[in-house]
Chain A
């Protein structure tokens, strides 16, 4: 069997195998501390925690959760993070944001803060905290360009682990009503035979989707 035949016959099988294994495992946990529910005129705001020195919760992830929570049959009105934080500047900045529900209670004594939160109709503040880490990178890919053309050959793989918590604060009672945690892991592959073919595990997207679905049900009290 020539090299060309070998690649033509065996490569699709190998690719299929890799595709099958390039999937994500997601676990969602819910810890409820109080009854929840939301009226049609009320809204929630989802904010990213950014106090840590080692990582910051990505704005894109927070927006992704917000977008999904505001869709579907149990859709909830979500105030965009940037709009809320800018409107309540400087009370929800990384250095000044309330860390405990008692801090929120103290903050609500500021008339301007209380009136803006009431104006938005915010019933719950959801604090999302977490990150996606990439580990176990292995393999190598070499690329070359010559007068007759170019190409790459090799194989690379890595593992992504997304770990996010969502703490739900009830603005009407200044209480933490529950926490939802999601952990998603997946292996990504990058085989290259002339052209690199990225087989990316959608780890963070799955974490976002799972967290949003659970959060929507939690806030609706389902």
Chain B
């Protein structure tokens, strides 16, 4: 009896299982974290170029930087990828500050590339404040960076910390993802302005620039 109706029952069971699977996947995706790739544009700084060549080394931790915001129960809520927008920012910023910039695959390539120094930034901390958690009416982003300037031989020149802050008001039809994106872009813009204007004022950098410019002056 069971064997006679087996084919039809098998089809029905398979359809039911498929439906349950699709339903479960739907539920899981509804409960899953929302992913966001930060996108923005950054202006070119209007500053005098430093007459030196710089190697830019962006470690894969920075190029693939991902921040995960968790709910109060510890579940993933937002996955914010800002690695590529950092690459875009530094690639736009540094050529406006230095006479020549060369992207390096590793710090060891610096000597062969003939650069005067290697700049290697990294992200130490990333914080996100959402209006639904802070009860404030804006999205806020704080980022703490470690900036390193190395000689072509990998020797230390300077190592300093920079922080940046960005916020965007919670307005109208702006989605949470849109708010996080705008606040992050604003924080990166703050980093760019702070870095551009404070670079030459970092004591070790100032001394190094004075030495290099004295050498260039004597040639």
Contacts and interface: CB of A to CB of B under 8 A. Distances in A.
A87 B48 contact: no
A114 to B, nearest CB: 11
Interface string A59-98: 0000000000000000000000000001111110111100
A172 to B, nearest CB: 21
Nearest to A112: B46
A89 B45 contact: yes
B12 interface: no
B35 interface: no
Contact of B193 (A95, A110, A111, A116): A95
A112 B49 CA distance: 11
9 contacts: A56-B167, A87-B46, A89-B44, A89-B192, A90-B192, A93-B193, A112-B48, A113-B46, A116-B46
Size class of B's contact patch? 10 to 19
Contacts of B214: none
Interface string B37-53: 00000011111100000
A93 B189 contact: yes
Contacts of B189: 93
Size class of A's contact patch? 10 to 19
Secondary structure dominating the interface of A: loop
Contacts of A112: 46-48
B197 interface: yes
Contacts of A91: 46
A56 B190 CA distance: 15
Interface string A113-129: 10010000000000000
Interface in B71-106: none
B23 interface: no
Contacts of B47: 90, 110, 112
B203 interface: no
B114 interface: no
Given A112-B48, A113-B46, A89 B169 contact: no
A88 B46 contact: yes
| Residue picked from B44, B45, B46, B192, most chain A C-beta under 10 Å | B46
A95 B197 CA distance: 11
B153 to A, nearest CB: 32
Contacts of B169: 56, 58
A214 B46 CA distance: 33
A111 B49 CA distance: 12
B184 to A, nearest CB: 16
B52 to A, nearest CB: 18
Contact of A87 (B43, B167, B190, B196): B43
B163 to A, nearest CB: 11
A53 B213 CA distance: 40
A142 to B, nearest CB: 24
A110 B194 CA distance: 17
Nearest to A59: B169
Contacts of B196: 90
Given A56-B169, A112-B48, A95 B190 contact: yes
A91 B196 CA distance: 10
Q: Ordered nearest first, which 6 A-B pairs have the shortest CB separation?
A: A90-B193, A89-B43, A86-B43, A93-B193, A112-B46, A90-B196
A86 to B, nearest CB: 4
A58 B171 CA distance: 11
Interface string B188-215: 0110111011000000000000000000
B46 A89 contact: yes
A93 B190 contact: yes
A89 B48 contact: no
A147 B133 CA distance: 36
A90 B193 CA distance: 5
Contacts of B167: 56
A84 to B, nearest CB: 11
B46 A96 contact: no
B185 to A, nearest CB: 13
Nearest to B46: A112
